[in-house]
Chains A and B, each alone.
Chain A
Amino acid sequence: MLPELGHFALIVALFVALALATLPIIGAARNSRAWMALARPAAQAHFVFVAIAFAALMTSFANNDFSLVNVAANSNSELPLAYRIAATWGSHEGSMLLWVFMLAGWTVAVSLFSSRSPLAMVARVLGVMGFINAGFLLFILFTSTPFARLLPPALDGRDLNPLLQDPGMVMHPPLLYMGYVGFAVAFAFAVAALLSGRFDAAWARWSRPWTTAAWMFLTLGIALGSWWAYYELGWGGWWFWDPVENASFMPWLAGTALIHSLVVAEKRGAFKAWTVLLAIAAFSLSLMGTFLVRSGVLTSVHAFATDPARGAFMLSFLGIVVGGSLALFGWRAASVGFAGSFDRFSRETLLLGNNVLLAAATGAVMLGTLYPLALDALGLGKISVGAPYFETVFVPLMAPLVLLMGAAPLARWKSASLADVAARLKWPALASAAAALLLPWLAGRFSVGVALGLFLAAWVFASTAVLLLQRSRGGAGQLARASRSFWGMVLAHVGIGIFIVGVTMVRGYETERDVKMGLGDHVDVAGYRFTFRGVQEATGPNYVAVRGDLEVRPVAGGASLTMTPEKRLYKEQQMPMTEAAIDAGLTRDLYVSLGEPLDEKTWTVRVYHKPFIDWIWGGAFVMALGGLLALTDRRYRVAVRRERETSLPPLREAAA
């Protein structure tokens, strides 16, 4: 009964979304208040119905309703409750429902937090979001319903893919989708601006917090996915330039460019058409990423089961949304205008450099991801593109970007003095050069790559320090009065620096040893002695495992610790999984994973020493924190509160 209710709720939600996609936009064109006013209640009703559907599916998973195909295929009665709930989005069908649930969530958020925006704008934005909602609901209902029944019901389920039975994996898809889908808001704002021809500082100010929020979620989602790959896949890597990773990285790059061009659009009224284009691009790339993963045109470890009907549907939808918005852009962008003038050297030019480099990086990743496909489609043969290409192309684009990042916040808007900025950056440059030369030498091995990486990281920190000094010239109080947007920027930039330190140190100084170990054997890696004390049998709720036992002691002496890597066999899917043991630390991770048994007593054991690897995800976390801080800027809150105060009757306020 419950699944049918969920299915029915989805159908109702589709009709509400169709109404939302049409009536308010027509109302805005005809200037009919009554029709425009439908937008908010429709967005809210839509959310309620999608939430009912999502809750219905989740409950079916929690209650082990194996009469549902989806539950029977992706869950099991022995699966712990937390994973049964997470299994809701473990399949293609369920994750699409999660996607729509989040899109509905963003839509309702816009309807709630837009009280100070003009009604016509809200109507258009919500209308565009309603259109996207409707598209995805059609996709689910026609090609991927999660509520299909299984007759007769299965006795038990086939279990969730063991790769997904992990806390990191529980949170990775929701965060990632929050980011992907969040760019729909910026997209809707952009389309609304094109429809109305109204594009001013206020427009950019409304778009900014939404873009930042989406970017924050996407940053966390990508970082969590990378962290998961590191500890779960058992070989200690953190980024593989896999097509699906690239699919999430492209919108991130475009979104980062968008955040910066929105600043220029708001403060200086420049880059207008470009900003609109970036907003369209960020969401289009999210959609394209979804298409690539779901249609099966690319092979990847992430790929879901493929079905030609799904691919064709997604591509048509992609064509309508992206093609339609780009056609609108071509037709209307001239009315948005390109206004804004600035000197050859100013903060605008530096941010333009940022945008050009980020756009080029997006293009480079896209080329590498789609090139094999394009050649194949043209019948020119089949090739494959791997990490070597991406690393060669990416580093030369990112290094100047980081240099610009240090300079831009120090430059004035409109017209800056090159000599002035150069003078301020003299000390950061010298300090970074010193760090680049000295630190690798102290670490014991000099290499150009490490020197370059450390130079860039030091540059970020030192130029940020100069920025803070400059801001506090009028006393520390000056700094305390700085806006949260400012601090958000500082934090995000520092996060980049932290990230660079992690990447550089791991690439330059990691040690990976693969050794045969029998009882009592030991191996020394990077100053630690790993002694193998054998293996034991262990059992989990839905798996059996062999658990290795290693004692780890610093060679120089000190407290020892025990590390217990596992090899699990998940009973239902008969799938072996490696569960690495990791001792995480600020300056290094010790990473041990069990390889293959060679005989009764001897195993191959992978022992890795990964210096500063946690800085990679730490940096991403700090970046996201910067985004959060910028979101809570007073400018957004004050305006909302002021609006509320005027709209609430005084009596109720007193009662509260």
Chain B
Amino acid sequence: MKKRLFLPLAFFVVLAAVLGVGLSLNPREVSSPFIGRPAPAFSLPQLQDPALRLGAGELKGQVWMLNVWASWCAPCREEHPLLVSLAREQAVPIIGLNYKDDPRNAQEWLLRLGDPYKVCVIDRDGRAGIDYGVYGVPETFVIDRAGIVRFKHVGPLTQEVWTREVQPLLQQLRG
């Protein structure tokens, strides 16, 4: 009887330990093990036409941006207008990775809010997302001509992050 009463405390101790470790991990500026490494390969069906596939290898030779998103993800809406305007300015080719989503919802979403993606691929079971170490949607990666991951941003991409970090990086990678 008596020992059972300490169960809530034991539960909390575990929880606090997890939170403590979580504190040392910064979800936003992940000095991700992926940076400086080759971008994990994928070959996935395209959202607009699932019969077609796109592999990460086909993008070699150009600097591109991978944006992980889902129609159920609220913060994705926040960054979406920025992506649309980047696509309009043709600032960088953006490849979408539609993460754990219903393709119909995803298509409807793009139809409604505008489609900034050069190509968007479907990652229905989140496999590619795991390879890329996706913590939470949205996430954005910049990959260079040699296929090396150069930058990762967790959470909605903002104008500030774009002008302060991504744009200079793109110039440098292209220069």
Chain A residues proximal to chain B, CB less than 8 Å: 233, 235, 237, 240, 242, 273, 277, 280-281, 284, 288, 291, 295-301, 303, 306, 308, 311-312, 315, 318-319, 322-323, 326-327, 329-331, 333-334, 370, 372-374, 376-378, 381-384, 386-388, 512, 514, 574-576, 595-596, 604, 606
Contact = CB atoms under 8 A, between A and B. Distances in A.
B8 A606 contact: no
Contacts of B154: 299
B136 A334 contact: no
A373 B18 contact: yes
B146 interface: no
A376 B112 contact: no
B112 A606 contact: yes
Given A299-B28, A329-B9, A372-B135, 4 more contacts: A240-B74, A301-B75, A301-B156, A326-B8
A198 B73 CA distance: 48
A386 B18 contact: no
Contacts, number: 134
30 contacts: A235-B77, A242-B74, A284-B12, A295-B19, A296-B27, A297-B19, A297-B22, A299-B135, A301-B74, A301-B156, A312-B23, A315-B16, A323-B16, A326-B8, A327-B6, A376-B22, A377-B18, A378-B21, A381-B130, A381-B133, A382-B135, A383-B135, A384-B99, A384-B134, A384-B135, A388-B72, A595-B113, A596-B85, A604-B114, A606-B112
Interface residues of B, number: 49
B165 interface: no
B103 interface: no
Given A326-B12, A514-B112, A299 B155 contact: yes
A386 B73 contact: yes
Interface string B74-109: 110110010011000000000000011000000000
B61 interface: no
With a 10 A CB-CB cut-off, give which of B26, B78, B111, B136 has the most chain A CB atoms. B136
B157 to A, nearest CB: 12
A383 B114 CA distance: 27
Given A384-B137, A386-B70, A606-B112, A333 B18 contact: no
Given A330-B5, A376-B135, A606-B112, A300 B75 contact: yes
B13 A384 contact: no
B45 interface: no
A512 B111 CA distance: 12
Nearest to B84: A596
Contacts of A386: 70, 72-73, 100, 137
Nearest to A301: B75
B106 to A, nearest CB: 13
Contacts of B51: none
Contacts of A370: 15, 18
7 smallest CB-CB distances across A and B, nearest first, come from A330-B6, A377-B21, A240-B74, A514-B112, A326-B9, A297-B22, A382-B135
